[in-house]
Structure 1
Amino acid sequence: MADDEAETEPAPPVDARSGRSGAAPEVADALPRDDDPLTESVETALAGRSAVVAVGVPLRLLPSVLAARERSSGAPWRVACRPGAVDALSRALVLGSAVAEAVETDAIRLRTGEPLGHGTSGTLFASPDRVDAVVGPPGDRTLATTAVDDGSGGASAAGAREAITGVRAAAESRFDAAAAAPVGMPSRTRLLAAARETLDDRFADDLAAVLESLAPGEFGRTTEPTDRTLLVALAARHDHLFRDLRRWVGVDGVGIAPAQEFTRDRRALVERELIESVKVPMGPGRPMLRLRAVDDVLLRARPEEVPSVLDGRFALPTDADGRLSRDAGREGRRPVWERRRW
């Protein structure tokens, strides 16, 4: 990450659960940002354009590029992100799966490379008749635009076109020199297809609705509840076996995260009295664990409301063992044996 970008994007904290240091950026740390006019400016400037070449794209602007691409058509956009940005997508279910979908459908071609060194930021978006460069001091970035005005004619239009051609050529050269960057998160299509096959249609439909409703920076890996917590909770709403969930998400499945990492999230949900793990004997050997939601609010919530339910419960105080404090969150809840079945 370039020095100027490091000043504008906060250093990610240490993830106590994974032991990772703050050396690599995290989507949840960079997004969402309140009062960030640059992200809106980038999406507005890029929407509807064709043959875009983008270089030096930081993590915070990637959702804007993706949103603009969805509002455009034509040949694939070539996007070279800053070092570390694509790696962070492997730990970001919402944004990572959306970017992977765009790559899989050839809407964008993604690489990792150094910033262009143009202006003060090194982030630049070029198309055949327009160039937008991110300029300005850290914390006050804006877009500087050079465009061809066919109505002006004369030397000014010719000069603008020549300048755009030169800058675009430099951007293309920088993109070509960048390294291929596979996204370490499955595409939405692959994610949901595998969920239907390994789990069931109800779970896949819930997951599709949740992913569609969440902002790019929500449910990462640095704070609870994580994206893993969300997936365990969704599975518990449909009484799935923990083994089947882990088979779907693990490295032998779609590869969202190592299967063993989900145990801590399952325990966190049990400790907060949202789900239970029911031992189910299945022949010789250790019994399986069936995930079962035991909280009325979690059971009755629409899929897109589940993230808010989790946020609310994880915000309640817990004791030294990680369980809910005696009176926390009990008002308005009924015991599991009294809950309505349907």
Structure 2
Amino acid sequence: MTEVADVFPRPDDPLAEAVETALSGRSAVVAVGVPLGLLPAVLAARGRSSGPAWRIACRPGVVDALSRALVLGTAVTEAVETDAVRVRTGEPHGHGTGGTLFASPDRADAVVGPRGDRTLATTTEGDAAGAGDGGPRAPPDGVYAAAESQFDAATADPVGMPSRRRLLAGAREVLDDRFANDVATVLASLAPGEFGRTGELSDQTLLVALAARHDHLFRDLRRWVGTDGVGVAPEQEFTRDRQALVERELIESVKMPMGPGRPMLRLRAVDDALLRAQAEEVPTILEGRFALPTDADGRIRREASREDRRPVWERRRW
């Protein structure tokens, strides 16, 4: 399944910029055949517009991918819960376009052109009957009605990711305000396509590292991500991420005997850079450490390890 990180456009992607510009300030937009890579542009434009909810029919697989995309998935769900957008799954738009159409009562914008060189073709009330670049065009109101019909026929699939608001509220309740503030800062600083789940370093790794900066119990972190209404990922998936951080000497897992049964693990940052960094700097620190070569057991090779790392007992405490 295609993930956000695989299809998210470059910051200067001309099609994404054109879509955001074309949609900003519009009202009553109906979109059909929206791919994953254009969703951030649509959300950005919606944030600068008013009026009733925009209706967005995404291509098959998009909503499913959002359930594994922390940054973009929480933003989309937030927009749904505040009735800024309504999201469904439907087939791409046809009739010789690139499969994506954005329509409002007085204007229609269709993605056209070959893959890798696509642009927007715009039709307004004034030029619908002109020859333009491809002969007579359908009036915008007719295109709008067709888009509405296609949206109505699409499937209403819920996004399997909590809204940003519910995610942070759960973090404050189960963990604490400091951790929740770190998560909020990181989510606001990351581009929508960053930290997907296609590689070893994922959004789950990032959450474990943030929890370790505040000495949280691994049990509590997993309880938060598995809570009804949050559900970022299954609780059992975070063990691999914890081990990867330990192997790269970023955190440690301290056994904490707490009555009968197996001891609990407390997450604790042992890397001075991770501990002292501002929250928005944590992703860069993780990317740098995970880029270092490792031995067969996953641990950083000695020649690549930092020689000036301070011992754990000298690290700064919050």
What band does the TM-score fall into relative to the shorter chain? over 0.9
Is 1:58 the equivalent of 2:35? yes
Is 1:219 the equivalent of 2:208? no
Which among 156, 176, 190 is matched to residue 152 of structure 2?
176
Moved more, 24-33 or 57-66: 24-33
Shift of residue 165 of structure 1?
A: 0.8
Alpha-carbon contact 2:223-2:235 (below 8 Å) kept:
yes
Which among 318, 335, 338 is matched to residue 294 of structure 2?
318
| TM superposition score normalised by structure 1 | 0.88
Q: Which amino acid counterpart does residue 109 of structure 1 have in structure 2?
A: R
Residue of structure 1 in register with 2:284 after alignment: 308
Shift of residue 35 of structure 1?
A: 4.8
Q: Which amino acid counterpart does residue 48 of structure 1 have in structure 2?
A: G
CA distance in 2, matches of 1:235, 1:190: 18
Alpha-carbon contact 2:211-2:221 (below 8 Å) kept:
yes
CA distance in 2, matches of 1:87, 1:68: 23
Which among 209, 213, 218 is matched to residue 242 of structure 1?
218
Shift of residue 32 of structure 1?
A: 4.0
Q: Which amino acid counterpart does residue 254 of structure 1 have in structure 2?
A: V
Which among 70, 92, 109 is matched to residue 69 of structure 2?
92
Is 1:192 the equivalent of 2:192? no
Q: Which amino acid counterpart does residue 276 of structure 1 have in structure 2?
A: E
CA distance in 2, matches of 1:138, 1:61: 14
Shift of residue 333 of structure 1?
A: 1.6
| Residue segments in structure 2 that go unaligned for 5+ positions in a row | 131-135
Residue of structure 2 in register with 1:290 after alignment: 266
Distance 1:199 1:253, change over 3 A: farther
Q: What is the CA deviation profile of residues 211-260 of structure 1, one whole-angstrom value per residue up to 9, with x for unaligned ones?
A: 00000000010012100000000000000000000000026461111100
| TM superposition score normalised by structure 2 | 0.95
CA distance in 2, matches of 1:227, 1:235: 12
Q: Which amino acid counterpart does residue 291 of structure 1 have in structure 2?
A: L
Is 1:336 the equivalent of 2:312? yes
Residue of structure 1 in register with 2:26 after alignment: 49
CA distance in 2, matches of 1:204, 1:146: 46
Residue of structure 2 in register with 1:6 after alignment: none
Is 1:125 the equivalent of 2:107? no
Is 1:139 the equivalent of 2:139? no
Residue of structure 2 in register with 1:3 after alignment: none
Q: What is the CA deviation profile of residues 251-306 of structure 1, one whole-angstrom value per residue up to 9, with x for unaligned ones?
A: 64611111000000000000000000000010111110000001110011000000
Deviation >4 Å, runs of 4+: none
Distance 1:171 1:288, change over 3 A: same
Moved more, 164-173 or 329-338: 329-338
CA distance in 2, matches of 1:224, 1:292: 20
CA distance in 2, matches of 1:131, 1:120: 12
Q: Which amino acid counterpart does residue 188 of structure 1 have in structure 2?
A: R
Distance 1:177 1:318, change over 3 A: same
| Residue segments in structure 1 that go unaligned for 5+ positions in a row | 1-23
- After superposition, the CA RMSD in angstroms is 1.7
Alpha-carbon contact 1:251-1:257 (below 8 Å) kept:
no
CA distance in 2, matches of 1:34, 1:211: 17
Distance 1:33 1:341, change over 3 A: same
Which among 218, 224, 228 is matched to residue 204 of structure 2?
228
Percent identical: 79
CA distance in 1, matches of 2:195, 2:9: 11
CA distance in 2, matches of 1:113, 1:238: 43
Distance 1:32 1:279, change over 3 A: farther
Is 1:101 the equivalent of 2:78? yes
Q: What is the CA deviation profile of residues 314-334 of structure 1, one whole-angstrom value per residue up to 9, with x for unaligned ones?
A: 001110100011132313321
Q: Indicate the SS of the match to 2:139.
A: helix
Q: What is the CA deviation profile of residues 35-89 of structure 1, one whole-angstrom value per residue up to 9, with x for unaligned ones?
A: 5210110000000100000000011111110111011111100000000011100
Q: Which amino acid counterpart does residue 100 of structure 1 have in structure 2?
A: T
CA distance in 1, matches of 2:240, 2:227: 18
Alpha-carbon contact 1:55-1:115 (below 8 Å) kept:
yes
Residue of structure 1 in register with 2:239 after alignment: 263
CA distance in 1, matches of 2:200, 2:229: 24
Moved more, 72-81 or 161-170: 161-170
Shift of residue 34 of structure 1?
A: 5.8
CA distance in 1, matches of 2:213, 2:315: 13
Which among 281, 290, 294 is matched to residue 257 of structure 2?
281
Q: Indicate the SS of the match to 1:327.
A: helix
